[in-house]
Amino acid sequence: MKITLAQLNYHIGNFDGNLSQMKEAIEKAKEDQSDLICFSELSTCGYPPRDFLEFRDFIHQSMNVIQSLCEQSFDIAIVVGAPTVNPEIEGKDLYNSAFFLYGGKVQHIAHKALLPNYDIFDEYRYFEPNKKFKTVEFKGKKIAITICEDIWNLGNNNPMYTIVPMDEMMKENPDFILNLSASPFSATHAKERIEVIRANVLKYKIPMFYCNSFGSQTDVIFDGGSIVMSPDGLTYDEMPFFEKCQRNYDLDQVCEGGKSNELPKEEVSLIYQALVLGIKDYFSKLNLKTALLGLSGGIDSALTCVLATHALGKENIKVLLMPSQYSSEGSVVDARDLAEKLGISYEIIAIEDIFKTYSHVLDPFFSGMPQNITEENIQARIRGMLLMAFSNKFGSILLNTTNKSEMAVGYGTLYGDLCGGLAVLADVYKTQVYELSHYINRNEEIIPQNSISKPPSAELRPGQKDSDSLPDYSILDKILYQYIELEKGPNEIIDQGFDRDIVLRSCRLVNKAEFKRYQSPPVLRVSSKSFGLGRRMPIEGKYLV
């Protein structure tokens, strides 16, 4: 049997576009004389469709895609993910399903049993979990069809679930496993995923064909990396990350095993690719073209600028340099050098006179009061106003350049530097910003070395440095990682040897800044716990305040 995996980039609700690319893949598979082609989870409608699933018309259009694919299935079997209506009176209205199409009709429907309800996932909001399991027979082979999370409860050791789908289907002695996935990217997930697949094939002694999607859906990025694994636990093949790919496999050869073809998984490279794809898809799927950002001469805006240029092309990027009376000459030079190095359009608009106008207007009300963060925020908001004016006038989307460390502790100004349509680095800690910048400069200097080496500063008052207000990032980021990603309480972090006062202050800053994050742009997710849907915290909570 010849099996094709199609790793495609789906667009939520774009039924015609999703169908078109699946038809193209099917024609190619037929030319290659494949017996079966497999697409990924909810590929008819795109993943995650979220509350679109509550629209009957949305489900109807998804089923129209299934009917159209049936017409393509006379010469080849097609396995495709789609939502289906639950015919029972009790339970949720829908199933998350995989259709097996052949001979012009639906031969079998497999429903997802394990519905993730953690982090960014909320499938139990919409779907009924499957409780009945049956393999499908095709050309003398029995196929166990699973959907994403269904393979992640090996040994029934996950307290969220009470059943192991593959244990149930092994009673019918399947010859191989098909898994349709929409597995979101995080920097460490690719390694975890391949080990879960390996554990399955070693337990059940049959190969697995794992088909993942790639592409970005606003904040959630999918990396592809579809896998074919032999019964001996060796990776027969692993598809590339973050790109369209379609490959054919001979089942008998896969069963023989004896080869390993795993791709290298350097975290900094994967994060770079994920961010570039996230920007690219955000613009293409919203039918947008040009991006705008403020270029300060600092490392965060420099990195964002490079990523956006790589994603959209230099002709689609415009930057504003907005020096204040506190900006160093070196910062302006570094920003201009980067813009010229990348070949992007830039304008210089000094904000000192605008700031003086604001100060003059406010002097009667602020008379006798010392300058403080108010004046700093006014400068940040002047820059935000100028950027939004250019965004509105020229139809460019403003990219936010705030990193995760700053976003975590509230080191940013609402309606100022927190403006934007997309937060590119808000799931990248400051220490990772340095790693990414060195990665970009690995072959030649693109980001000016001075932007990397100088102490980080907002340059909103004389001699200002981030370290005046925050712990050193090398310490802060470790504490934030424990508190945000690993969800460790302050005492648990202190017990690891961190300074008690720094830990308590850092965690309190995170909690107090929640109201800012509620008003910030969507964040490209590259970690296991990003700000947004994956981390739902109350604004007015008293914990640690």
Q: Per-residue pLDDT tens for 186-242?
A: 999 989 999 999 999 999 999 999 999 999 999 999 999 999 999 999 999 999 999
Q: Which of 435, 468, 501 is the last residue of a domain?
A: 468
Residues 292, 238, single domain; the answer is no
Residues 224, 333, single domain; the answer is no
Query: pLDDT tier at 291 (50, 70, 90 boundaries)?
Result: very high
**Which pLDDT score, from 0 to 100, does residue 162 have?**
87
**Which pLDDT score, from 0 to 100, does residue 545 have?**
58
Structure confidence by residue, pLDDT tens digits, 395-448: 999 999 999 999 999 999 999 999 999 999 999 999 999 999 999 999 999 999
Residues 295, 260, single domain; the answer is no
The mean pLDDT of 70-87, rounded to a whole number, is 97
Q: What residue has token string 């070395």?
A: 449
Cβ-Cβ contacts under 8 Å for 425 (sequence gap 6 or more): 275, 300, 303, 304, 400, 401, 402, 403, 404, 433
Q: Give catalytic status of residue 41 as yes or no.
A: yes
Got the DSSP string for 450-485?
HHHHSPP---SSTT--GGGTS--HHHHHHHHIIIII
Six token digits for residue 208: 């697995």
Structure confidence by residue, pLDDT tens digits, 481-500: 999 999 999 999 999 999 99
Domain that includes residue 439, residue range: 286-468
Query: pLDDT tier at 21 (50, 70, 90 boundaries)?
Result: very high
If DSSP states are collapsed to H, E and C, what string results for 501-514? HHHHHHHHHHHHCH
Residues 215, 339, single domain; the answer is no
Residues 374, 231, single domain; the answer is no
0.85 exceeded by the pTM?
yes
Amino acid at 94: L
Examine residue 188 and state whether it is found in any structural domain, yes or no.
yes
Residues 128, 234, single domain; the answer is yes
Inform me whether the pLDDT recorded for 308 exceeds 80: yes
Examine residue 271 and state whether it is found in any structural domain, yes or no.
no
Contact between 190 and 270 under an 8 Å Cβ cutoff? The reply is yes
Structure confidence by residue, pLDDT tens digits, 236-248: 999 999 999 999 9
Rg value, the chain, Cα: 26
CATH number of the domain encompassing residue 242: 3.60.110.10
Inform me whether the pLDDT recorded for 473 exceeds 70: yes
Residues 87, 156, single domain; the answer is yes
Lowest mean pLDDT among 94-98, 172-176, 373-377: 373-377
Examine residue 281 and state whether it is found in any structural domain, yes or no.
no
Examine residue 359 and state whether it is found in any structural domain, yes or no.
yes
- The rounded percent of the chain whose pLDDT value lies above 90 is 88
Q: Which of 453, 468, 483 is the last residue of a domain?
A: 468
Q: Which of 468, 483, 516 is the last residue of a domain?
A: 468
Six token digits for residue 64: 């129209």
Structure confidence by residue, pLDDT tens digits, 42-55: 999 999 999 999 99
**Which pLDDT score, from 0 to 100, does residue 33 have?**
97
Query: pLDDT tier at 57 (50, 70, 90 boundaries)?
Result: very high
Cβ-Cβ contacts under 8 Å for 483 (sequence gap 6 or more): 490, 493, 506, 507, 510
Query: pLDDT tier at 34 (50, 70, 90 boundaries)?
Result: very high
Residues 410, 447, single domain; the answer is yes
Helical (H) or strand (E) element with 230: none
Query: Could you give the CA distance from residue 199 to residue 149 in angstroms, rounded to a whole number?
Result: 14
Residues 170, 292, single domain; the answer is no
**Which pLDDT score, from 0 to 100, does residue 89 have?**
82
Catalytic one of 41, 128, 238, 406: 41
Cβ-Cβ contacts under 8 Å for 523 (sequence gap 6 or more): 219, 407, 423, 426, 427, 530, 531, 532
Residues 249, 298, single domain; the answer is no
CATH number of the domain encompassing residue 454: 3.40.50.620
Examine residue 512 and state whether it is found in any structural domain, yes or no.
no
Query: How many domains is the chain partitioned into structurally?
Result: 2
Q: Give catalytic status of residue 430 as yes or no.
A: no
Residues 249, 317, single domain; the answer is no
The mean pLDDT of 8-28, rounded to a whole number, is 98
Contact between 302 and 447 under an 8 Å Cβ cutoff? The reply is yes
**Which pLDDT score, from 0 to 100, does residue 159 have?**
79
Lowest mean pLDDT among 18-27, 405-414, 458-467: 458-467
Examine residue 496 and state whether it is found in any structural domain, yes or no.
no
Examine residue 20 and state whether it is found in any structural domain, yes or no.
yes
Inform me whether the pLDDT recorded for 125 exceeds 90: yes
Examine residue 375 and state whether it is found in any structural domain, yes or no.
yes
Six token digits for residue 404: 């995760």
Lowest mean pLDDT among 64-73, 151-160, 440-449: 151-160
Catalytic one of 38, 148, 305, 419: 148
Query: pLDDT tier at 11 (50, 70, 90 boundaries)?
Result: very high
Contact between 437 and 447 under an 8 Å Cβ cutoff? The reply is yes
Residues 244, 362, single domain; the answer is no
Catalytic one of 112, 285, 318, 488: 112
- The rounded percent of the chain whose pLDDT value lies above 70 is 99
